[in-house]
């Protein structure tokens, strides 16, 4: 019924699509659904926004079957655990290289099907070992998590960060897509909501440099330690599932009133 | 080249489209352009974000011909004036009922053409006298400014606010569009980026009530006085054009370093 992608007048072509923003960590969450079966996937939900997200899922009459994280986030706690309590059929999804627990552990190039729609999961390590980029070939979109940001990329100075690997993965597995593919990142700090492969190939101030220059840039970013990392990492390794956390993490993570 | 609306494989059908967010006032700015001629329109730019917006306009190789405001904003200063300095061909646009100065003063149902694309301007007073909703019939989108917000609507307690008029205008001129038209509001405070006519008809907690209940709700909102109103109103009445402001407004508005 809804969606941006509705100019063909062909219901079967319309993807139900919502981009959602969380202002504290500047995180984008994405909701995608098949318009025929209403089967849906949510990518990178944030724990503080679960009420908003579950309201939208219910109002759009969606059948949420996957809650996928692009990686083990260090800057916020995933909403996957709380969403699983509300939508018990939903399966948590992570890369098999993430060192995390999830109902579905994806390998490189595996497909996530939801109704007549699907996403290809490509492993794109470098920011973390378990980073995944989810690609809709039909709708020409790539959900890049923290691997490729708009005119930027994920930091590589902690959590198995590896600049050489990140550079290689972005070029081989994301910027090799056709120019018109839209890039939807996991964060943006300037209020930009999307980019494209063509733009990042031409204007990304880091990725347009050669590998040695890129490694040098990444070495000198001098970024602050993520404020929430000490609670986020242990919580996110179990997809935010309360019952799988140790006592210390439980006390830090549980939202008020839950 | 870019865009969300690119699933038909037909270049002529692709609208170049960007939704941009300003975090302090939670304002959405929209950039739309014709993919053939590159002629572009920007809706509701924010003065603090002019550098970001002009970068994107240049990088996407767009020919900016209109800078339109949905109304005389009270919560932020428009970026239209600064954009006109950078893109001198750009014409400022307002409703003729706004009591503001602009290069183009639109009447109800007038069309704004940019290349092979166009927007229909519908007067939708109620939040302010000069409120306009811009509609793309081809791409099934409505840019509603502060008239209709996601699960909400603009306040009616100052600046010629009129609850009865707002209710009538939203129902007659926006919610009368087909159900699948996307609603893009001027603000959102929860990180929602879009809605649809169907959703607002079904779930808007104010607009689903009858007129008397609506008036009662609007009377009892108890909202704070907008923080920036004293500089925003005089600046926005001249579309943020520095040379048309009085001295007091000039001193308040000019961004650092300009």
* Tokens, residue A157: 């100075």
Q: Which residues of B touch A203 (CB under 8 A)?
A: 59
Closest partner residue to A196 (CB to CB) among B1, B15, B182 is: B1
Q: Does A206 touch chain B (CB under 8 A)?
A: no
**pLDDT confidence band for A188 (50 / 70 / 90):** very high
Taking an 8 Å cut-off on Cβ atoms, the answer to whether B180 and A3 are in contact is yes
Q: Which residue of B has its CA nearest to A46?
A: B191
Q: Which residues of B touch A192 (CB under 8 A)?
A: 18, 20, 52, 56
Q: Delineate the domains of chain B, giving CATH numbers in brackets.
A: 4-242 (3.60.15.10)
> B231 CA to chain A: closest CA distance, Å?
24
**pLDDT confidence band for A8 (50 / 70 / 90):** very low
pLDDT over 70 at A56, yes or no: yes
Return d(Cα B196, Cα A12) in angstroms, integer. Answer: 18
ipTM: 0.91
pLDDT over 90 at B227, yes or no: no
Specify the higher pLDDT residue, B29 or A13. Answer: B29
**pLDDT confidence band for B6 (50 / 70 / 90):** very low
Sign of the C-alpha dihedral, residues A239, A242, A246, A252? positive
pLDDT over 50 at B50, yes or no: yes
What's the pLDDT tens digit per position in B156-191?
998 889 999 999 999 999 999 999 999 999 999 999
State the average pLDDT over residues A177-182. 97
B residues 134-173 near A, CB within 8 Å?
138-140
What's the pLDDT tens digit per position in A128-151?
999 999 999 999 999 999 999 999
State the average pLDDT over residues A182-189. 98
Taking an 8 Å cut-off on Cβ atoms, the answer to whether A194 and B52 are in contact is no
What does the pLDDT read at residue A13?
A: 64
**pLDDT confidence band for B144 (50 / 70 / 90):** very high
Taking an 8 Å cut-off on Cβ atoms, the answer to whether A6 and B199 are in contact is no
pLDDT over 70 at A217, yes or no: yes
The model's pTM is 0.93
Q: Are A140 and A17 in contact (CB under 8 A)?
A: no
Sheet holding A63-68, edge to edge: A16-22, A27-33, A39-43, A63-68, A91-95, A104-106
pLDDT over 60 at B7, yes or no: no
**pLDDT confidence band for A192 (50 / 70 / 90):** very high
């Amino acid at each position: 019924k809804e969606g941006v992608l509705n100019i063909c007048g062909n219901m079967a072509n319309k993807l139900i699509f919502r981009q959602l923003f969380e202002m504290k960590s500047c995180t984008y969450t994405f909701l995608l659904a098949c318009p025929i079966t209403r089967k849906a996937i949510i990518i990178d939900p944030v724990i503080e926004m679960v009420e908003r997200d579950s309201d939208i899922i219910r109002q759009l009459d969606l059948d949420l079957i996957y809650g996928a994280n692009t990686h083990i986030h260090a800057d916020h706690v995933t909403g996957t655990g709380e969403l699983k309590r509300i939508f018990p059929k939903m399966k948590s999804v992570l890369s098999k290289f993430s060192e995390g627990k999830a109902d579905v552990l994806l390998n490189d190039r595996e497909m996530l099907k939801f109704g007549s729609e699907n996403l290809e999961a490509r492993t794109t390590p470098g920011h973390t070992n378990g980073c995944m980029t989810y690609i809709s070939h039909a709708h020409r979109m790539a959900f890049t998590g923290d691997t490729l940001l708009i005119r930027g990329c994920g930091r590589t100075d902690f959590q198995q960060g590896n600049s050489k690997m990140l550079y290689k993965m972005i070029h081989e597995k994301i910027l090799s897509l056709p120019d018109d593919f839209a890039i939807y990142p996991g964060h943006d700090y300037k209020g930009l909501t999307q980019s494209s492969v063509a733009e990042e190939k031409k204007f990304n101030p880091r990725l347009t440099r050669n590998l040695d220059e890129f490694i040098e840039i990444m070495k000198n970013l001098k970024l602050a330690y993520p404020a929430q990392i000490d609670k986020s990492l242990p919580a996110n390794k179990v997809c935010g599932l309360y019952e799988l956390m140790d006592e210390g993490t439980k006390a830090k993570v549980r939202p008020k009133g839950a």
